[in-house]
Structure 1
Amino acid sequence: MRQVLSLLRRKPGSAGAYLSEPRRPVEFDGVRMAQNAQARNRIIITVACFSIFYMVIGGRLIEYGARSNETVSSIARGDQLMASRPDLVDRNGEVLATDIRTVSLFAEPNKIVDPDEAIELLATVLPDLDMKGTYRKLSSASHFQWLRRQLTPRQQSQILALGIPGIGFRPEKRRFYPGGPTASHVVGLVNIDNKGIAGMEKYVDGQGLGDLAAAGMTINEQMEPVRLSIDLRVQHVLRDELAAAMIRYQAIAAGGVVLNVHTGEVIAMASLPDFDPNDPVHALDKDRLNRMSAGTFEMGSTFKAFTIAMGLDSGLVKMSDTFDATKPLRIGGFTIHDFHATRRILSVPEVFTHSSNVGSARMADLVGIAGHREFLTRLGLLTRMDTELPEVATPTQPREWKKINSMTIAFGHGVATTPLQTAVAGAALMNGGKLIEPTFLPRTAEEAARVAVQVVKPQTSDEMRELMRANGENGSGRNARVEGFRVGGKTGTAEKVVNGRYSSSLKFNAFLAAFPIDNPDYVVLVVIDEPKPEDGKHGATAGNNAAPMVQAVIRRSVGFLGVKPRFDAEGQVLSLSY
């Protein structure tokens, strides 16, 4: 029995076999493969989600990086500031105009919670804030509005402390003029956007800076300064003396220029009343006109210098010739008479020294209308002057030159030109006969020689220097004498035109001077509008006011200009009366 059972246990497939060995679970390959595929899909989806997420983040970062930087709470770094303008400096490197950093206040109306509250808070710092206009800006649907340009650091700090949402600051540049009004008409000024609108500031923009700014091609690096021909020391002296003269003679305006006769450089030029370019609220007022280059005036007897030079240069007049001034000259229903009549025949030097209207008119008549007009045109007195300064007026003259016109123009009535042009033409009579257009930029003698035009003969220039010297010593220009320096000149007392008629009580006076008169280096011209007689003195002629003004300017400026005084054998300074 035991053997049978043993055999039964060893037979495969028998009941005993099943009883002795446990059953193993059955594996399904299809299920396992499905599970593996599902896991892979989940991993792929997860990776894709992360990839898309980081791509979105990267795209936004690129978008933000492409946007222009905007600072809303403080001044940004130097490289984020708007492009600079070059400094303007005088011939010695003294700063006339420069940029300083500032900020401007702006608002983002879409972020303003309560416009009324914001305005009330801002008004505590900016009491002059336009309430209605600001409310319209803050209530608009726009994303940007200027509220106030060019704040002070204190104002910025106080507004920051208010913590108003939607209010911020943008960095800007502000133009600063250390000399204030000292050279305002020459330097000019800029507008709120730092763009030149007058003077040499406008000229600099016209040389390409303005086009670059408009094209967005400006740079933030410090630019090379623009050097002007102005000497700030002489400029201060000139303006100071003009301001003092306006008070002394109770005048409505005054102006002056100091010009290098060899190079045409304007060393100083001022016109009063002027303005402070740091606070140009009055810059566009009518009485702030730059009278020296943008105003035209009848220059009176200073034109006699050009009339006599015309006669001498034409060869029709010699220094030894004489002209009849024994009585007034009548022509075409008009009478020409002398202010200080000598009632005698005058030589050419006497016509100049006595400032004879009759003698000058006869000289112009001798040259003729065509020759007279051509000569004044040759000297640049009838055409618009060519220089860097944008504010330049065009002279006026009769539409048709008749004999009476030529005769009155001979002594400065009938043609209106700018004082600067008068000085330039005067320089041509002093420097050997070369007309050199004025410049407000440095110019060497060699550069000037390339642009100079010979307009009168050297001999004519020599003779005119002698006439100017004589008039400066003993004539109407004697009040311009400076001890140790030879000063020559010609006065001009012109009656102003009021309602189409010449007024005997309103004068426009001028004095055209050159020094040292033996071989002049500089021309000085001053003008004074409607001067009154000085207290205790009689008369308001140019000899009594314009000549002393020139004397003061030269006396205070010669040291800066490098002109040395003359000494006698014993080392004493020579005066003009010798």
Structure 2
Amino acid sequence: MKQILEKWKPAIKSLIIWNICSKNIKIRLLMVICGFFFLFCTLSYRLIIVATNVYDKNINSFKKNHQFRKEIVDRNGNLLAVNLPSASLFANPQIVLDPETSVKKLAEILPDINKAKLLAELKSNKSFIWVKRDLLPSQQEKITSLGLLGFEFEEEQKRIYTFSNLLSHVVGYVGRDSVGLSGLELAYDKYLTNSDYALNEPKNRKEPLQLSIDIRLQSILSEELDKTLKQFKAIGAVGIIADPNNGEILALVNKPDFDPHYPSLAKPEELFNIASLGIYEMGSVFKALTMAVGFDTGAINMNDAYDISYMKVGGFQLKDYTPRQGWHSVPEIFLYSSNIGTSQIMLEIGKSNFKKYLKKLGLLDQLQIELPERGTPLFPSEKRWNDLTSVTMSYGYGISISPLHFVRAMLPVVNGGTLYDLTLLKRKDEKVIGTKVFSENTSTQMKKLFRSVVKEGNGKRAEVKGYLIGGKTGTAEKLSQGAGGKKKYLKNSRASSFLGMLPASNPQYIIFIRFDEPKPTKESFGFATASWTAAPTAGRVFERMISLYGLEPIEQSEEES
């Protein structure tokens, strides 16, 4: 046995040495493998952390932009704009297992998605992509049931406009990040998001933005404008109703309008705010301001008369739409809307006085109102402001202002002489401060003239039986770019307007309606003037207002006074 062991001793020794070496190699190999595994885990962990951080950064950034936003309500508390919960689907392409199958399944539930684009994004190195925003509850439920790895929902806030197009130019709209982009949504963005604590005392943090608008009246005005637009095929219209005793705007409608949920689909003319941003020559309705200045400066009185047969100023011959001969009193000049008569009154006033009053009325400055879309008036420079330009301005040509400019300037003409700022916000109970521009007597005389136009002049179709409606019509030829860059007025391209008040004896409501390029019809005997378009529209609005507010008829004795 001993001999056998001695014989195999070298072999056994070699085997032992080999086993020891082999064991060391195995240990080293195992250590290398463990090292690589640890490195792999570390790198994977770091990649996951980076991807997660990028993902979290996207989500957190998104959440910051989709903050709380206050409601907007009308003067009676009716909801106009509100944020509602809305689910949106997003994905992390880094952990989506089967992009092709995922896209195929999602397309069955979301048929409007771009499959090719989504598939490319899911195969990209991105860590965050939006799949579909603002899902319907039924869509969210179906997608959830698919159990797709890498897809999740984000609870968002979607801005809903309860009356859609009806207030698009007043309320405006917000962008995808819930930031106001137009209208009051833009003007009051900080207030609505509570981001400006100076505007939001603790007690007001949840208070909605309350407008002066009465949504019922807004709807009435919109419907009646639509009727006339369709009948006379006008290209646009604007309607404004205000309280002349404090400047609150009760209704403001522009046509065409747009859906504030999808502003990117709107045409430029639909987005344009005619009432505040558009500036136009007002035409004959502007004569009301000239008359008021004439009375207030003492240049004229009710008993004065002028020969309106013929007039020339600076080589320019003035003409009336309906020529008349001989002498006519001041009330008759207003009733018949004589350019010649109004021009003579303008010369009695003097260009210096006239300009001073236009300045007082804010007609030479940018409109001051809450809307960010505001127009700046156009008028002659000091060098070009002469007798001729003053004369043409007296009957509404040569000065361009916004419809809201004109409405504001008319407030003191009908309310006893006080100029108020217009507002789209409901005023509190505090006393409203205004500026005295005209005397009480001037306002009284003007209200008589307004009543005469509706009672026996071109405003007859605005009359509502049993009520004292007052007003003034205006039909203005539009200025166009002619050959060689020369501008000229087009007789077949007009804007017709009507300024009205209810009641004429003590106005509680003032209305301004303007139609752009109405076309004559057989029913109107080939006319498209204000007496056939704007005046009847105002009459229908007044009739429905009377029913809406339960206004009492006016006593006959009040008209006589």
The alpha-carbon deviation at position 560 of structure 1 amounts to 3.0
Give the Cα separation in 1 of the matches to 2:284 and 2:135.
52
Amino acid across the alignment from 2:74: D
The alpha-carbon deviation at position 568 of structure 1 amounts to 6.1
Give the Cα separation in 2 of the matches to 1:184 and 1:482.
30
Q: Deviations over 1:318-359 (max 9, x none)?
A: 2221222112x2233422100011122221111111100111
Structure 1 match to 2:439 = 457
Structure 1 match to 2:426 = 442
Question: Is residue 531 of structure 1 aligned with residue 518 of structure 2?
Answer: yes
Question: Is residue 324 of structure 1 aligned with residue 307 of structure 2?
Answer: yes
Question: Is residue 391 of structure 1 aligned with residue 373 of structure 2?
Answer: yes
Question: Is residue 83 of structure 1 aligned with residue 67 of structure 2?
Answer: yes
Structure 2 match to 1:542 = 530
CA 1:548 to 1:255, structure 2 compared with 1: closer, same or farther past 3 Å?
A: same
Give the Cα separation in 1 of the matches to 2:403 and 2:128.
49
Question: Is residue 427 of structure 1 aligned with residue 411 of structure 2?
Answer: yes
What are the equivalent positions in structure 2 for 1:399-418 lying under 5 Å apart?
399=381, 400-418=384-402
Give the Cα separation in 1 of the matches to 2:91 and 2:350.
71
Give the Cα separation in 2 of the matches to 1:167 and 1:300.
62
What are the equivalent positions in structure 2 for 1:44-55 lying under 5 Å apart?
none
Q: Deviations over 1:406-444 (max 9, x none)?
A: 111111111111111211211210011111011111125
What do you get for the CA RMSD once the two structures are aligned? 3.0
Uncovered stretches (5+) of structure 2, i.e. residues with no partner? 1-48, 482-486
Structure 2 match to 1:314 = 297
Give the Cα separation in 2 of the matches to 1:489 and 1:117.
69
**Could you tell me whether the CA contact under 8 Å between 2:55 and 2:128 is conserved in 1?**
no
The alpha-carbon deviation at position 270 of structure 1 amounts to 0.5
Structure 2 match to 1:507 = 494
**Could you tell me whether the CA contact under 8 Å between 2:308 and 2:341 is conserved in 1?**
yes
Give the Cα separation in 1 of the matches to 2:182 and 2:271.
13
Give the Cα separation in 1 of the matches to 2:545 and 2:103.
54
Question: Which among 239, 258, 262 is matched to residue 256 of structure 1?
Answer: 239
**Could you tell me whether the CA contact under 8 Å between 2:502 and 2:508 is conserved in 1?**
yes
The alpha-carbon deviation at position 284 of structure 1 amounts to 5.2
Structure 1 match to 2:509 = 522
Secondary structure of 2:401 counterpart: coil
Give the Cα separation in 2 of the matches to 1:190 and 1:235.
21
What are the equivalent positions in structure 2 for 1:545-556 lying under 5 Å apart?
545-556=533-544
TM-score (norm 1): 0.80
The alpha-carbon deviation at position 564 of structure 1 amounts to 1.8
Question: Which among 369, 372, 376 is matched to residue 358 of structure 2?
Answer: 376
The alpha-carbon deviation at position 535 of structure 1 amounts to 3.0
Secondary structure of 1:308 counterpart: helix
**Could you tell me whether the CA contact under 8 Å between 1:82 and 1:172 is conserved in 2?**
yes
Q: Deviations over 1:342-390 (max 9, x none)?
A: 1222211111111001111122222222222221121122211111122
The alpha-carbon deviation at position 169 of structure 1 amounts to 1.0
Structure 2 match to 1:299 = 282
Amino acid across the alignment from 2:500: A
Q: Deviations over 1:384-413 (max 9, x none)?
A: 111112222111112331222111111111
Amino acid across the alignment from 2:164: G
Question: Which among 323, 331, 335 is matched to residue 349 of structure 1?
Answer: 331
**Could you tell me whether the CA contact under 8 Å between 1:249 and 1:533 is conserved in 2?**
yes
Q: Deviations over 1:438-465 (max 9, x none)?
A: 11111257432x2x11111111111111
**Could you tell me whether the CA contact under 8 Å between 1:473 and 1:577 is conserved in 2?**
no
Give the Cα separation in 1 of the matches to 2:124 and 2:315.
72
Give the Cα separation in 1 of the matches to 2:166 and 2:478.
28
Amino acid across the alignment from 2:512: L
Q: Deviations over 1:219-269 (max 9, x none)?
A: 9x9922221111111111001101111111111111101100111100111
**Could you tell me whether the CA contact under 8 Å between 1:385 and 1:437 is conserved in 2?**
no
**Could you tell me whether the CA contact under 8 Å between 1:263 and 1:445 is conserved in 2?**
no
Amino acid across the alignment from 1:293: S
Secondary structure of 2:278 counterpart: coil
Amino acid across the alignment from 1:566: I
Structure 2 match to 1:558 = 546
Question: Which among 435, 450, 458 is matched to residue 468 of structure 1?
Answer: 450
**Could you tell me whether the CA contact under 8 Å between 1:81 and 1:172 is conserved in 2?**
no
Question: Is residue 103 of structure 1 aligned with residue 87 of structure 2?
Answer: yes
CA 1:491 to 1:125, structure 2 compared with 1: closer, same or farther past 3 Å?
A: same
The alpha-carbon deviation at position 199 of structure 1 amounts to 1.6
Give the Cα separation in 1 of the matches to 2:117 and 2:312.
67
**Count of paired positions:** 496
The alpha-carbon deviation at position 206 of structure 1 amounts to 4.1
Give the Cα separation in 2 of the matches to 1:322 and 1:89.
51
Give the Cα separation in 2 of the matches to 1:81 and 1:155.
24
Amino acid across the alignment from 1:497: L
Give the Cα separation in 1 of the matches to 2:205 and 2:118.
36
Q: Deviations over 1:90-129 (max 9, x none)?
A: 1111111111111111111211233333333322222222
Secondary structure of 2:250 counterpart: strand
Structure 1 match to 2:150 = 166
Give the Cα separation in 1 of the matches to 2:149 and 2:386.
75
The alpha-carbon deviation at position 274 of structure 1 amounts to 0.7
CA 1:445 to 1:532, structure 2 compared with 1: closer, same or farther past 3 Å?
A: farther
Secondary structure of 1:507 counterpart: strand
Give the Cα separation in 2 of the matches to 1:516 and 1:227.
27
**Could you tell me whether the CA contact under 8 Å between 2:69 and 2:192 is conserved in 1?**
no
Give the Cα separation in 1 of the matches to 2:146 and 2:356.
71
Give the Cα separation in 2 of the matches to 1:212 and 1:274.
31
Identical amino acids, percent of aligned pairs: 35
Q: Deviations over 1:460-511 (max 9, x none)?
A: 1111111111111111111110112101000010001121211100111110
Give the Cα separation in 2 of the matches to 1:133 and 1:371.
67
Structure 2 match to 1:233 = 216
Give the Cα separation in 2 of the matches to 1:212 and 1:69.
29
Uncovered stretches (5+) of structure 1, i.e. residues with no partner? 1-62, 73-78
CA 1:436 to 1:482, structure 2 compared with 1: closer, same or farther past 3 Å?
A: same
Secondary structure of 2:449 counterpart: helix
Structure 1 match to 2:181 = 197
**Could you tell me whether the CA contact under 8 Å between 2:217 and 2:251 is conserved in 1?**
yes
Secondary structure of 1:237 counterpart: helix
What are the equivalent positions in structure 2 for 1:476-495 lying under 5 Å apart?
476-495=458-477
Give the Cα separation in 2 of the matches to 1:183 and 1:464.
33
TM-score (norm 2): 0.82
Give the Cα separation in 1 of the matches to 2:443 and 2:181.
39
The alpha-carbon deviation at position 272 of structure 1 amounts to 0.9
